[in-house]
Amino acid sequence: MTQITLPRPDDWHLHLRDGAMLRAVAPETARHFGRAIIMPNLVPPVVTGDQAAAYRDRILAALPDGSGFTPLMTLYLTETTDPDDLAKAHADGIIHAVKLYPAGATTNSASGVRDFDKVRPVLERMAEIGCPLCVHGEVVDADVDIFDREAVFIDRVLDPLRRATPDLRVVMEHITTAQGADYAREGGDNLGATITTHHLVINRNAILVGGIKPHYYCLPVAKREEHRIALRKAATSGDPSFFLGTDSAPHLDPLKENACGCAGCFTATNTLSILAEVFEQEGALDKLQAFASENGPHFYGLPVSDETVTLTKGAPVDYPKKIDTAEGPVTVFDPMMPLHWRLD
């Protein structure tokens, strides 16, 4: 197979930031994707419907003229989230989901949840109105190894939360473990899971072997090779539980390349080429459409795009190594392999 035509894919987990960064990176996603679930962890975070609407307007203003890209907004769940404001924003079509960050788990998560009992009324309201909860699934307990945080979160937090609110639709964001894939696969119609592009490509050796590689550092951190293999199996299976959420997360190079570098891989520029390469390696090009274009819309109750994109196999594609912003450069994720699939 040397050519693939797909319904225009969507990105079900995306960071666009704000200001100069937003203006620089939004066109990279809009070039390839029709829609994206936009993460709300700005500073300050997006916690009300009015703030989500204002952020949506800034995103639309940053897009190239004639772009058909649609940002799907979310609210940042806090222990003081107003259920009525949330429900109104959902009913008005301003938001499509709510994001749960355990406090301290990742970038700009200080305003996240510490006491899960305090958000139960909000979760129950979300279950009533059909608003999905997108979960950053890691515990932050000091006694839990960073490589075990996802598996422990499933046992200690996620499974009890779902049992207490069984009608709540939940997305396990950016799963990184075999345990995460197994739980999502067995979770029923109310549970889905996004898988990033970079977690299909790297394991923890990419970060640590031969010196620290800050541009492969992300949260949740990449795990052992056995987990990468499990994620590839899940993504390429065609199982509707799994769909693409790049977690493309731009940071300025000086903020990545320092003594306490930021977590995140910027993959918006070359994600579709990388995915085609991965799915071809797995002998599963026929499953790429389900993962990138169909399973996500089905979970969120949205139509599959009636637009198409075409990927053609040929000579290796020369993607830029960096994206320039008004505040400095952002490094594009390097998959450490040639990319032969070009988006026409």
Whether residue 293 contacts residue 10, with contact meaning beta carbons closer than 8 Å, is answered with: yes
CA distance 132 to 299: 9
Summarize pLDDT for 11-67 with one digit per residue, the tens.
Answer: 999 999 999 999 999 999 999 999 999 999 999 999 999 999 999 999 999 999 999
CA distance 266 to 322: 10
Which residues partner with 195 through β-bridges? 244
Give the pLDDT of residue 184: 98
CA distance 104 to 106: 6
Which residues partner with 194 through β-bridges? 243
Alpha helices (H) in 119-177, listed in sequence order: 120-129, 149-153, 159-164
- Among 50, 247, 286, 324, the active-site one is 247
Summarize pLDDT for 124-141 with one digit per residue, the tens.
Answer: 999 999 999 999 999 999
Summarize pLDDT for 178-192 with one digit per residue, the tens.
Answer: 999 999 999 999 999
Tokens of 172: 């396990």
Q: What is the pTM of this model?
A: 0.97
Which residue positions in the chain have pLDDT lower than 50? none
Tokens of 178: 């075999």
b vs e for 132-164, b when ≥16 Cβ sit within 10 Å of the residue's Cβ?
A: bbbbbbbbbeeeeeebebbbbbbeebbeebbee
Give the pLDDT of residue 106: 82
Give the pLDDT of residue 31: 96
11 catalytic per annotation: no
Give the pLDDT of residue 294: 98
Give the pLDDT of residue 104: 83
